[in-house]
A = this chain, B = another copy of it.
Amino acid sequence: MTTTRERHGLLIVNTGDGKGKTTAALGILTRAWGRGMKVQVFQFIKQSTGNWGEVRALKKMEIPVTTMGGGFTWLSKDLNHDADLARACWQEAAKAILEGDAEIILLYEFTYPMHFGWIPVEEVLDVLRRRPANRHVIITGRNAPPELIEAADLVTEMTKIKHPYDNNIGAQPGIEF
């Protein structure tokens, strides 16, 4: 058994029902930023106007974020509109993956548009297969499609063991948003 030392662009999937998918992805971006690597974020589903700590942190780190701006799907009254926004965001992301210069690209909450059937998984996998060999791609969200997990190099499932909401403790600023 030998492991290669060469640069190999990983496909990383953080999925599962537990906390920490976004947080773990933010940690990877922070680590890469610490090394001075070029990082880019495409944000699906979640709206961009919130005061989330991660949005502020990405801004402070000067990491470019492209948002689809459609707000939370489960609050939306027009799913077709959200699907169109997600597809438009994916077109930009695909271009960055194939032709951009970021070393690490995060597709934040990107499992949802695939899970909802808005973006065909096969189309995503085709773009990922054709990407430059050293480009890392991170995809987060629940319900990662099985084909995506099959194609991924690193899959972590966050499993909820215990959560403060179980004890009626509200979300804490800085920790959860």
Contact = CB atoms under 8 A, between A and B. Distances in A.
A53 B32 contact: yes
A4 B168 contact: yes
Nearest to A8: B169
A23 B19 contact: no
Interface stretch (A83-91, A113-121, A151-159): A151-159
User: For the complex, would chain A's binding face be called helix, strand, loop or mixed by DSSP majority?
Assistant: mixed
B24 A175 contact: no
A165 interface: yes
Interface stretch (A56-64, A66-74, A93-101): A56-64
A52 B160 CA distance: 28
Contacts of A31: 23, 26, 52-54, 57, 174-175, 177
B153 A164 contact: yes
Nearest to A39: B174
Contacts of A56: 34-35
Contacts of A5: 170
6 contacts: A23-B28, A31-B54, A33-B60, A35-B56, A154-B163, A156-B160
Q: Which 10 A-B pairs have the closest CB atoms?
A: A34-B57, A31-B53, A23-B27, A34-B56, A26-B27, A27-B27, A32-B174, A155-B161, A155-B162, A153-B164
